[in-house]
Structure 1
Amino acid sequence: MKIEKLKIAVQALNATLSHLDRELGQKLRELLKDDQFEEEQLVSSLKKEIYGVLNEFWSSIPADTLRINRLVGGKNSRIKPWLDFQATLSEGGWEDADHPQRFQQLAARFSAKDPLLNVSALLNLLKCATRMLGYVEEKTKKQYPFDRLRAEIDAKGHLPHERMKQEQIVTTLAVVFYLLHYHCTAEQLQLLPLLCDYRLSTTNEERRSEKAVVRYMLEQVLCSQEFFLDYEKDYITSSRDWVESRDISTLAPLLPKNITALKKHLDPLPWSKILLKGMQTENKTEVLTRNAQQLFNDFLLLKKRSYFDAINLASTIQQDVKLPEERLSINALLYIFCLQAYENERKEDPRPDGFFGFSRGTKCSAALKKIDFLTGTRSQLGWRESLALKQGRLGQLIDTFEKNDVQSVDVELK
């Protein structure tokens, strides 16, 4: 954008500003007083300051107004001059001129669910952790941040200054993990990646890294938990810098009272909240099917991932479910998950089929068709498959989930 066009846009803005915003308009005029810019010179160096003023304006708008899906601005509206100013900047080549507005709108929606959950403080923790760890690379995006962090600890954990930094990273990520799973709603979790995109003065490396952390912690809950449990004893600590962090102080009303309490919240996790995410707004069967698959995919990446490990995990989760209305849905989801774990292990079992028992193929087919039945797909069972469902480990699994009330599970998912 050329300096002359920018000056004209600022003049037009100041001519129509509300008295509430004249000080902000003056700030913009002050930025353009310097004569060092030539007529044809691009003024990208001013973007940061100008966007800062835009952010200051939008942060002053009441949250109820910001939560309106589409801000138009009437003839005498306070926001219309700023919308026009942003449009001019966009036409001049600053296509992200509306990012301060979008960020504040998203932040208003985020905070509507819980005003104590300060989104800027949460994003700052993400920014701090990824900056200290190093930004994500495209080829390792799926494993970021914990594969990178494990490698850093293995390579440099013996160095005192590196050890202190690693402790701060692990502790900060543990706090983020806690906030995501204990306090964020499903809608807030959907908003977080967008907030990373639109936050002021954020580089592409920061955006990619912060979104990679959020994605990993939400999609690979078990793997994240496994990391924290591996390192909690020595790396989740209460350093002076961490205790004095402004962001930690801001979020303190939502956090456990100390590091020991934080560690206790890493196992067990609030599984009902995690596994039933999306149930209020989406098709129940689709949510349970999707979340069961996500849990299974996550489970396959653990160090301990046998069928019996899956059964033990399901038992642990069931014990954590307190509300009767949640227990039925969780039971149905875990039923699918355990059948997936059984089928996965059975098909990879190198042992030859027994002479009297059913073949590996029959057992796997029976388990998959049972999953189809539970998720609303009617797959016809052959007589061998019907019998296979009643024998061995597969029969025990089905009895475990259906012995109390077989119909309730089926009805729940239809």
Structure 2
Amino acid sequence: MKVGEFKQQVIELRSNTDPLKTPSEVLGLISKLSELFEPLNDQFDLNSDMMVPVKELMNQFWNLVIRNIPCEQSEQWNTAAYVMPWLTLQQSLVKVGLMNADFHHPILYEELKNHFNRLSVTNDSLKITELMPLLIRASRMLGYAEVSQLGHYPFFKLNEKISANRPQEIEKLEDIMFLLRSILYLMYKYCTLKQLALIPSLIYFRYPTTDEERRSELAIFNWLTQHTLECTQFFSSHDDYINMRSIKEIDALHNAAHLLPKERKNFLNATNENRWIYLFTHQSRGRPAFLEEQDASVKETLRLLRQDFNSQKDKSFTAIWGFAFLVKMQARILSPSEAKIVHAATYAFCMEKYIELFNFSEDSKNSFSVHSEWESVKCQAAEKRKLAAINGQSVKLGFFETLAVSQGRLKKLINFLEENQTSDSEDFSSSGETPSMSN
């Protein structure tokens, strides 16, 4: 490229930039670009050394972009009106070998990565550097998707490999299945809705990468998040392909191993199709009317919570508390309207289980004791709170019921449900104590 050609490109950059819709700092960078080679003869050839100040100004531009367009709107990083002319200039430099393709992607990816990690809400949070390698490795091992296969990837390729039943590929298939189930588990256990929304952009701006990698990784992400029930049913029907050996042999799993269940049966259970979160998201996102039918959706979610909880052996108060805590953690992946339904159902579930614990206790059999009568009052209050949660109404308690819910374990449980804090649950669980029904 001649110096004169570059000058013309900068003139076009300026003419295609609307000063009324462009940050003033960006306009300043355009002026600096136009001054760079002003003294030079138009017939001089540009070389890589002369591109150093150009790249520096480009870096400044992209840093301004991420300052003015937040990560939540990262799709505009390639489409904003004042960005497009700069991309045109970049592409012209790429074509003549003066700039690397996707020159700006490392800057944008770094911003997305840091923002993803900042959105974490727990100390044992999932970092994007632990999740992305799993997507990368899974798509590479499975084989990249052709454009014509995107509607059925990775499901079609998985079925193809399973049907082929080649003995020499069994271990590879086990590793692929383990990677995919691990991604599902980690996203639904540790990611918030805002973090999930960043992943398509993280896939796109990762550097270096290729178009086939992008489309394959994005297809896996979409399959796991948009077709959750199909995924979990598929996984559950192929439990035989899960081998914990994969954690030791797949490098990409090493950094995330501390976040995965340690035992095979727990890993299978956590990614089983009957977990409430997979069934709930399938209904809430696959049936638009679900979120509009508030009463019916809360009752259905309550049924899913019961079904999930009843699949475990421990039905103690500690187990109820721990289950509710995990539900609240997983609700971070939901939209506000979905989370509202889950909160109401969780509230009703906890009140219901509190009542059941009393009904199956020795205290309930001794109906003439003062303590038993007081517990009955607590259960009456819990029942009213359960119905209020299901029907979306405010709870109306009598004097003694109000007094009853301000004491003991029921008070702790209600506070936990209403305050949206994790510290109480962590303290309760870590104590290792199971409070007696008399508390």
CA separation in 2, counterparts of 1:161 and 1:231?
Answer: 18
2:271 to 257, 266, 272: 266
Correspondence 1:235 to 2:202: no
2:109 to 88, 94, 103: 103
SS of 1:322 mapped into structure 2: helix
SS of 1:264 mapped into structure 2: helix
1:239 shift after superposition: 2.6
Do the aligned partners of residues 112 and 407 (structure 1) sit closer, same or farther apart at CA in structure 2, a change above 3 Å counting?
closer
What is the 5 A alignment of 1:6-405? 6-10=48-52, 68-69=67-68, 89=90, 92-93=93-94, 96-114=102-120, 116-154=125-163, 156-157=164-165, 159-232=166-239, 234-239=240-245, 242-267=247-272, 271=276, 275=280, 292-296=283-287, 315-320=303-308, 322=324, 329-330=341-342, 405=387
**CA deviation vs aligned residue, 1:53-92 (integer Å, no higher than 9, x gap):** x9xxx9xx9xxx9985559xxxxxxxxxxxxx99975562
SS of 2:144 mapped into structure 1: coil
Do the aligned partners of residues 70 and 313 (structure 1) sit closer, same or farther apart at CA in structure 2, a change above 3 Å counting?
closer
Do the aligned partners of residues 187 and 153 (structure 1) sit closer, same or farther apart at CA in structure 2, a change above 3 Å counting?
same
Do the aligned partners of residues 139 and 9 (structure 1) sit closer, same or farther apart at CA in structure 2, a change above 3 Å counting?
closer
Do the aligned partners of residues 112 and 328 (structure 1) sit closer, same or farther apart at CA in structure 2, a change above 3 Å counting?
closer
Aligned residues between the structures: 257
**CA deviation vs aligned residue, 1:321-357 (integer Å, no higher than 9, x gap):** 7379989714989xxxxxxxxxxxxxxxxxxxxxxxx
CA separation in 2, counterparts of 1:142 and 1:4?
Answer: 45
1:122 shift after superposition: 1.5
SS of 2:237 mapped into structure 1: helix
Letter in 2 for 1:329: I
Root-mean-square deviation (CA), in Å? 4.5
Question: Is the 2:139–2:213 Cα contact (8 Å) retained in structure 1?
Answer: yes
CA separation in 1, counterparts of 2:88 and 2:146?
Answer: 34
1:202 shift after superposition: 1.1
CA separation in 2, counterparts of 1:411 and 1:148?
Answer: 49
Do the aligned partners of residues 409 and 253 (structure 1) sit closer, same or farther apart at CA in structure 2, a change above 3 Å counting?
same
Do the aligned partners of residues 147 and 12 (structure 1) sit closer, same or farther apart at CA in structure 2, a change above 3 Å counting?
closer
Letter in 1 for 2:204: D
1:295 shift after superposition: 4.0
CA separation in 1, counterparts of 2:389 and 2:248?
Answer: 52
Do the aligned partners of residues 406 and 210 (structure 1) sit closer, same or farther apart at CA in structure 2, a change above 3 Å counting?
same
**CA deviation vs aligned residue, 1:10-52 (integer Å, no higher than 9, x gap):** 26768x9xxxxxxxxxxxxxxxxxxxxxxxxxxxxxxxxxxxx
**CA deviation vs aligned residue, 1:251-308 (integer Å, no higher than 9, x gap):** 12321123332112113666459858xxxxxxxxxxxxxx7452449xxxxxxxxxxx
Letter in 2 for 1:6: S
CA separation in 2, counterparts of 1:296 and 1:314?
Answer: 17
Question: Is the 1:142–1:216 Cα contact (8 Å) retained in structure 2?
Answer: no
* Normalised TM-score (structure 1): 0.51
CA separation in 1, counterparts of 2:90 and 2:389?
Answer: 62
CA separation in 2, counterparts of 1:329 and 1:125?
Answer: 32
Question: Is the 1:103–1:195 Cα contact (8 Å) retained in structure 2?
Answer: yes
Do the aligned partners of residues 181 and 270 (structure 1) sit closer, same or farther apart at CA in structure 2, a change above 3 Å counting?
farther
CA separation in 1, counterparts of 2:89 and 2:287?
Answer: 50
Do the aligned partners of residues 110 and 149 (structure 1) sit closer, same or farther apart at CA in structure 2, a change above 3 Å counting?
same
Do the aligned partners of residues 258 and 293 (structure 1) sit closer, same or farther apart at CA in structure 2, a change above 3 Å counting?
closer
1:245 shift after superposition: 3.3
Question: Is the 1:328–1:409 Cα contact (8 Å) retained in structure 2?
Answer: no
Letter in 1 for 2:226: E
**CA deviation vs aligned residue, 1:185-224 (integer Å, no higher than 9, x gap):** 1011111111000011211111111111111111111111
- The percent of aligned pairs where both chains have the same amino acid is 27
CA separation in 1, counterparts of 2:238 and 2:393?
Answer: 42
Do the aligned partners of residues 69 and 175 (structure 1) sit closer, same or farther apart at CA in structure 2, a change above 3 Å counting?
farther
Do the aligned partners of residues 332 and 11 (structure 1) sit closer, same or farther apart at CA in structure 2, a change above 3 Å counting?
closer
CA separation in 1, counterparts of 2:69 and 2:340?
Answer: 40
2:38 is aligned to none
1:25 is aligned to none
Question: Is the 2:137–2:252 Cα contact (8 Å) retained in structure 1?
Answer: no
Letter in 1 for 2:224: M
Which structure has the greater CA radius of gyration? 2
SS of 1:107 mapped into structure 2: helix
SS of 2:254 mapped into structure 1: helix
1:149 shift after superposition: 0.4
Question: Is the 2:116–2:198 Cα contact (8 Å) retained in structure 1?
Answer: yes
* Normalised TM-score (structure 2): 0.48
Question: Is the 2:141–2:176 Cα contact (8 Å) retained in structure 1?
Answer: yes
Structure 2: gaps spanning 5 or more residues: 3-44, 71-85, 289-298, 309-322, 332-338, 346-385, 395-439
Letter in 2 for 1:235: Y
CA separation in 1, counterparts of 2:54 and 2:217?
Answer: 38
CA separation in 2, counterparts of 1:331 and 1:201?
Answer: 42
Do the aligned partners of residues 70 and 160 (structure 1) sit closer, same or farther apart at CA in structure 2, a change above 3 Å counting?
same
SS of 2:48 mapped into structure 1: helix
